[in-house]
Each structure stands twice: as C-alpha cells, then as structure tokens.
C-alpha cells in the first residue's frame, strides 16, 4: 500500500476508507512534526484535492521562520488557497534550521517524499511539486493547481 492509499480495515468509514478525525476536517491544517504528518496521511479525506506545503518551523524565541523564502511562499499560497472550494491546504513544518539540515531528519529520509528543498509545494493526488522560489511563480503554480483554481 503506498502512502496515499486508503486503509479499509473494519471500523472505518465506507466513503473514505478512514476513521473520522475532526482534527483534520478543516480546509487548512498546520502540522508541526513528522508524526503529525504520518497521522494526517492516515486520516486525510482523499475525495478532496490536497496540497502540502513543506516549510520551516518558526523559532520559539523570535516567533519568526528561519527561512525568509518559506515565509514569502507561505504568505502567497495562503492568499490563493482562500479561493479553493473542494481542496485542503496543509502546512507541514519540518523543524528548526538545525533539524532540517540534519541528514537524519525524517522528512529527508522519507523515500516517498524525497524532500530536498524548502519550501516544497505539492499536489498530493498528481504528485506535481514546486520547490524554493518556484512556488510563487504563477505560470508554474498553474501546473500544480487542479482545474478548480483560476489564477
């Protein structure tokens, strides 16, 4: 079973193949670590178009991201996501700068993600992705967004 497949064990919803979890029912979610990401994969509603933004974690001291590029991309994408109807936008924080640069970071080690650059914006269904400042280039974003978006 790949990482985006439904788990159809008994006790799960027949519509999505997943148990319900209100924590992940909103149009926008923020995940703060790899364990949250794995849990989200288990409960996500595959009937919706899901977009992941892998980004830096804000410093608990300053409250600001260690990556200005991540901050810029997140601000641009959050404005555009408001126009989505049948979609979910999930912001996934990968850790502090030291945690991200550690070769053993679980996001870096995940063979399905193959995450190498922050930020990374991904359409889960199609697997299309943009990395770095390409995440804010309109002509490239159109390749990742599903048809419901008109930018």
Count the neighbouring beta carbons within 10 Å of the beta carbon of residue 124.
19
Residue ranges covered by each domain of the chain: 24-144
Residue 45: name the closest of 27, 61, 71 by CA: 27
Question: What does the pLDDT read at residue 86?
Answer: 80
**In the predicted model, what is the mean pLDDT of residues 34-62?**
93
pLDDT in tens, 58-113: 988 888 899 999 999 999 898 888 777 788 999 999 999 999 999 999 999 999 99
Tell which CATH architecture fits domain 24-144. 3-Layer(aba) Sandwich (3.40)
Q: Is 17 or 136 the better-scoring residue by pLDDT?
A: 136
Residue 22 — pLDDT band, cuts 50, 70, 90? Answer: low
Percent of residues, the chain, with pLDDT higher than 70: 80
């Amino acid at each position: 079973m790949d990482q985006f497949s439904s788990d159809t064990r008994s006790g799960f919803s027949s519509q999505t193949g997943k148990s319900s979890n209100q924590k992940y029912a909103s149009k926008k979610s923020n995940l703060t670590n790899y364990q949250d990401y794995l849990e989200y994969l288990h409960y996500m509603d595959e009937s919706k178009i899901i977009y992941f933004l892998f980004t830096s974690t804000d410093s608990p001291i300053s409250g600001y991201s260690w990556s200005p590029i991540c901050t810029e991309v997140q601000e641009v994408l959050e404005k555009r996501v408001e126009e989505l109807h049948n979609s979910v936008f999930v912001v996934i924080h990968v850790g502090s700068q030291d945690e991200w640069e550690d070769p053993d970071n679980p996001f870096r080690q995940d063979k399905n993600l193959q995450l190498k650059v922050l930020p990374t914006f991904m359409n889960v269904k199609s697997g299309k992705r943009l990395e770095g400042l390409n995440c804010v280039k309109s002509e490239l974003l159109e390749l990742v967004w599903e048809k419901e978006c008109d930018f």
